[in-house]
């Protein structure tokens, strides 16, 4: 029974990677979610072919009892929906048992972002007289200037930057390419960094290198950001993704069109980008309450 489940999961993984062009991190998440469900039905002596909507509901109750948040449960159910949809397509099962299972209403999560003064403080702290300090400054400038994911940043090559046209070519989720504008300050910082490392041996085609002159990792970017945040008076939990949220929030506050922000962020659905409108609406209400005589 377990061998069959693992065989179907391996085939599904190949399908995701080669037919759907799903990113590696997403595939890892799908695998973990499906294996957890497989473990649950194994313990209840249920085969994958016999799993029905009642078993899925029991699994849902099991997840709630374990204390999983609604957002996590929603993600796990989405993984299972895709998996069973594939199994139906391959005629392994007759119907998708998740068709009549509703996803729990998710909690509204407002992204953390930095105020403009906090961003300025952060971008000024790296020591730009050293190669590593200049690299750190350039990486942070690009993350804030372009709103790209940290995975997109570390996978970028020097040739992806158009210094004359002031744009960067980004390879996003699902191997989807997009062109994002880049600010003058970020470009200048990048130029200084690339000039300073000119004599460095190693992966010269990679845009950002670690101290060993190899392509930098997402973990290294997270670590360097954490190190600088600790030196500042910022008490928020700041990650590279925070700079992406900050980019979108600042653009929206300045009157940028939501669809333009969607395109720059590489969101497939506008609803994903619309979370930032909650931030600006909240801020507008605060401004109104402070400023309006009859508020």
Q: pLDDT by residue (tens digit) across 58-95?
A: 999 999 888 888 888 889 999 999 999 999 999 999 88
Q: Please give the structure tokens belonging to residue 164.
A: 């004359």
Torsion of the alpha carbons at 138, 143, 146 and 150, rounded to the nearest 10: 120
Whether residue 244 is contained in a domain is answered as no
- 72: containing domain: 2-89
d(CA 156, CA 226): 22
Catalytic residues: 149, 173, 241, 244, 267, 276
Percent of all residues in the chain with a pLDDT value above 70, rounded to a whole number: 92
pLDDT of residue 272: 76
Structural domains in the chain (count) = 2
pLDDT of residue 195: 94
Whether residue 181 is contained in a domain is answered as yes
pLDDT digits (tens, 9 = 90+) for 269-279: 877 777 777 66
Residue 106 — very low, low, confident or very high, per pLDDT cuts 50/70/90?
low
Residue range 104-130: mean pLDDT, rounded: 86
pLDDT above 60 for 295: no
* Class of residue 28 by CB neighbours under 10 A (exposed 0-12, middle 13-18, buried 19+): exposed
Same structural domain for residues 235 and 122? yes
Which of 152, 148, 197, 150 has its CA nearest to residue 175? 152
User: In whole angstroms, how far apart are CA 70 and each of 27, 51, 58?
Assistant: 21, 22, 15
Same structural domain for residues 146 and 189? yes
Same structural domain for residues 234 and 121? yes
CB of 258 closer than 8 Å to CB of 270:
yes
Same structural domain for residues 132 and 221? yes
Whether residue 278 is contained in a domain is answered as no
Same structural domain for residues 223 and 125? yes
Among 239, 261, 283, identify where a domain stops: 239
Same structural domain for residues 79 and 122? no
Whether residue 293 is contained in a domain is answered as no
pLDDT of residue 71: 83
pLDDT above 60 for 294: no
CATH code assigned at 147: 1.10.443.10
Among 70, 89, 108, identify where a domain stops: 89
Whether residue 266 is contained in a domain is answered as no
Whether residue 57 is contained in a domain is answered as yes
pLDDT of residue 266: 86
> What's the pTM value of the predicted model, to 2 decimals?
0.67
CATH code assigned at 15: 1.10.150.130
Residue 184 — very low, low, confident or very high, per pLDDT cuts 50/70/90?
very high
Residue range 103-109: mean pLDDT, rounded: 67
Same structural domain for residues 17 and 73? yes
User: In whole numbers, what is the pLDDT of the chain averaged over residues?
Assistant: 88
Whether residue 95 is contained in a domain is answered as no
pLDDT of residue 285: 67
Beta strand pairing call for 161-162 and 177-181 = unpaired
pLDDT digits (tens, 9 = 90+) for 140-180: 999 999 999 999 999 999 999 999 999 999 988 777 889 99
Percent of all residues in the chain with a pLDDT value above 90, rounded to a whole number: 55
pLDDT of residue 36: 94
pLDDT of residue 219: 93
Whether residue 138 is contained in a domain is answered as yes
Same structural domain for residues 61 and 136? no
CB of 138 closer than 8 Å to CB of 208:
yes
Same structural domain for residues 81 and 154? no
Which of 189, 185, 175, 97 has its CA nearest to residue 134? 189
pLDDT of residue 169: 95
pLDDT digits (tens, 9 = 90+) for 226-262: 999 999 988 888 999 999 999 999 998 888 888 888 8
């Amino acid at each position: 029974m377990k061998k069959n489940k693992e065989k179907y999961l391996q085939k599904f993984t190949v399908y995701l990677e080669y037919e759907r062009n799903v990113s590696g991190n997403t595939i890892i998440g799908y695998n973990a979610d499906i294996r957890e469900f497989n473990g649950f039905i194994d313990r209840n002596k249920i085969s994958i072919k016999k799993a029905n909507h009642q078993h899925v509901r029991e699994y849902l109750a099991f997840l709630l009892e374990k204390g999983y948040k609604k957002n996590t449960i929603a993600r796990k159910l989405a993984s299972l929906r895709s998996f069973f949809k594939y199994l139906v397509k391959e005629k392994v099962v007759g119907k998708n048992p998740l068709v009549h299972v509703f996803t729990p209403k998710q909690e509204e999560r407002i992204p953390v972002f930095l105020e403009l003064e906090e961003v300025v403080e952060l971008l000024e702290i790296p020591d730009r007289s050293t190669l590593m300090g200049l690299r750190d400054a350039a990486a942070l400038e690009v993350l804030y200037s372009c709103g790209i994911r940290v995975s997109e940043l570390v996978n970028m090559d020097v040739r992806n930057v158009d210094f004359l046209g002031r744009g960067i070519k980004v390879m996003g989720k699902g191997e989807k390419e997009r062109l994002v504008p880049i600010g003058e300050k970020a470009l200048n910082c990048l130029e200084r960094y690339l000039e300073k490392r000119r004599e460095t041996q190693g992966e010269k085609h990679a845009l950002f290198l670690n101290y060993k002159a190899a392509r930098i990792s997402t973990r290294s970017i997270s670590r360097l950001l954490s190190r600088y945040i600790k030196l500042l008076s910022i008490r928020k939990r700041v990650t590279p993704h925070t700079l992406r949220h900050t980019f979108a929030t600042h653009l929206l506050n300045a009157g940028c069109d939501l669809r333009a922000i969607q395109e720059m962020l590489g969101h497939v659905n506008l609803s994903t980008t619309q979370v930032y409108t909650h931030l600006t609406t909240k801020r507008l209400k605060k401004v109104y309450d402070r400023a309006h005589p009859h508020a």
